[in-house]
Structure 1
Amino acid sequence: MSAIIKLENKHFPVLLKELISIISPLYGGTFLDCTFGQGGYSKKILEKKINKVIAIDRDQDVYLYAKELEKKYNNRFHFQNIKFSEINRIEIKSNDLKAIIFDLGYSINQIKDLSRGLSFKSTGKLNMKMGINNFSCHEVI
């Protein structure tokens, strides 16, 4: 995957303004972004220097986006390539945690990648690959 992102492949987070108004990152704290993707929510939260973000995503293709934020925000951003079911592996002081964010669904990059088998435009197998999988939906069906 190229580190250069074309605008047509850029994923825009849903209801970003509304989410930010609800979680109130103006007052500082640690935020858990459970569907990191291209980092839209994390970037917005990290605009305030008093915030920290711990992000997870099962999709291995998002690592380059996470690496960019780790470099830019140093000790304020941490990423783990894990599934929701492994969320207990994350160490957070409970009194620091201000919000947990889940933006469930597919990103534009996942849909456009026909090898994942998420699009009806594909004539390939119904794989429905979201990332860290031991098997595909095609194998189950």
Structure 2
Amino acid sequence: MTDPVLATASDERHVPVLLDEVLGALQPLDGASVIDGTFGAGGYTRAILAAGAGRVIAIDQDPTAIANGADLVASSSGRLDLVHGRFADMEAHAEQCGLASVDGIVLDIGVSSMQLDQADRGFSFRFDGPLDMRMSREGPSAADVVNQLDGRDLARVISVLGEERRAGQIARAIVRRRDNAPLERTADLVSVIESVLGQKRFGESHPATRTFQAIRIYVNRELDELGLALAAAERLLAEGGRLAIVSFHSLEDRIVKRFLQERSRTSAQGSRHMADVAVAPPTFEMRKRSGIEPSEVEVARNPRARSARLRFAVRTPAPARALDLADLGVPQLPELPMAASARKA
């Protein structure tokens, strides 16, 4: 029987994207303490342990992922702590595990293959299931969003988070549909979107892709969580510690890129009449400014890797800075009435 710690990515249903590149970005790993903020099926964690990490704290907000990782914890000889929670709270999780700083942090942003492939999670337009999309299985669901959000706010969510040009038309169609009966299943939402955009054509992406992406990101507050996690990583990484982030679409990648570029600058560009303006000491040193994309071989083996991009940087000794999410381009979006009222209660 294969030791789960030493198993390769091919043994898993979920293939970790850019695995070799992520391991290279995190080196050296021998004896290192590492946070895997997005455990999922454990692909990165398993490889990091096999590469010699002394301690790994793996975090996931999905209780199913935590339950499925029990065997890996048992086989890790005490080197793995598997934590149910959000990666934005990684400082608190590290403290609870007895670590004040770590040598490496890796984040694989977005929904996992396992979640997409489970119809009952409601993430995918490919399967009919409950309109859910909650990674943590807690809080407002996708059904709450499409049935309760004001039509103009819904259009803004779909436009901003899905970059959907016909967001207004889709939102109005959703409102008309829910006036007759609530949308409760993924097939309900797909049919509304297709009534506006038409059905999928050969060689093109599904017309529901952007809307489903937008609602999933909104339900899970993924961009806010990413921004908070970047700030937490800056505070938690020791000098020389390495931050590796794999993103899958432009919204995420722009936030990561903006953060690392701003945190690695040594001066602000002035005009020809003025010298460059001094800025705070850089907290990160970027090692490859353009990011790393998967090879053609990897994309052929795993089509879901085609849009992935890895960015990584090394922590300097400069003190961490305060961070405003708006400065990273994290959009300010309306809240569901039920979510706001729950917090007041």
| TM norm structure 1 | 0.83
Query: What is aligned with 1:69?
Result: 72
CA contact (8 A) 1:25 1:45 kept: no
Query: What is aligned with 2:83?
Result: 80
Query: What is aligned with 1:3?
Result: none
Match of 1:123 among 123, 128, 132: 128
Supply the distance in 2 between the matched residues of 1:54 and 1:132 (Cα, whole angstroms).
22
Query: What is aligned with 1:4?
Result: none
* 3-state DSSP of counterpart to 2:108: coil
* 3-state DSSP of counterpart to 1:102: strand
Supply the distance in 1 between the matched residues of 2:58 and 2:11 (Cα, whole angstroms).
24
Query: What is aligned with 1:101?
Result: 106
CA contact (8 A) 1:55 1:78 kept: yes
* 3-state DSSP of counterpart to 1:130: coil
Supply the distance in 2 between the matched residues of 1:44 and 1:98 (Cα, whole angstroms).
16
Structure having greater relative contact order (Cα 8 Å, sep ≥ 6): 1
**Structure holding more helix per residue:** 2
Supply the distance in 2 between the matched residues of 1:86 and 1:50 (Cα, whole angstroms).
22
| TM norm structure 2 | 0.36
Deviation at 1:25, TM superposition (A): 3.9
CA contact (8 A) 1:82 1:132 kept: no
Structure of larger gyration radius: 2
Query: What is aligned with 1:21?
Result: 24
- Any gaps of 5 or more consecutive residues in structure 2? 1-9, 147-345
Q: For the structure 1 residues 21 and 137, does the alpha-carbon distance in structure 2 shift closer, same or farther, using more than 3 Å as the test?
A: same
Supply the distance in 2 between the matched residues of 1:130 and 1:21 (Cα, whole angstroms).
29
What is the letter of the counterpart of residue 14 of structure 1?
A: V
Deviation at 1:50, TM superposition (A): 4.8
Q: For the structure 1 residues 135 and 41, does the alpha-carbon distance in structure 2 shift closer, same or farther, using more than 3 Å as the test?
A: same
Match of 1:56 among 49, 59, 76: 59
Q: For the structure 1 residues 20 and 110, does the alpha-carbon distance in structure 2 shift closer, same or farther, using more than 3 Å as the test?
A: same
- Any gaps of 5 or more consecutive residues in structure 1? 1-6
Supply the distance in 2 between the matched residues of 1:68 and 1:74 (Cα, whole angstroms).
11
Q: For the structure 1 residues 103 and 58, does the alpha-carbon distance in structure 2 shift closer, same or farther, using more than 3 Å as the test?
A: same
1:59-89 deviation line (CA, Å, top 9, x unaligned): 1111233211211113210011102343232
Deviation at 1:9, TM superposition (A): 7.1
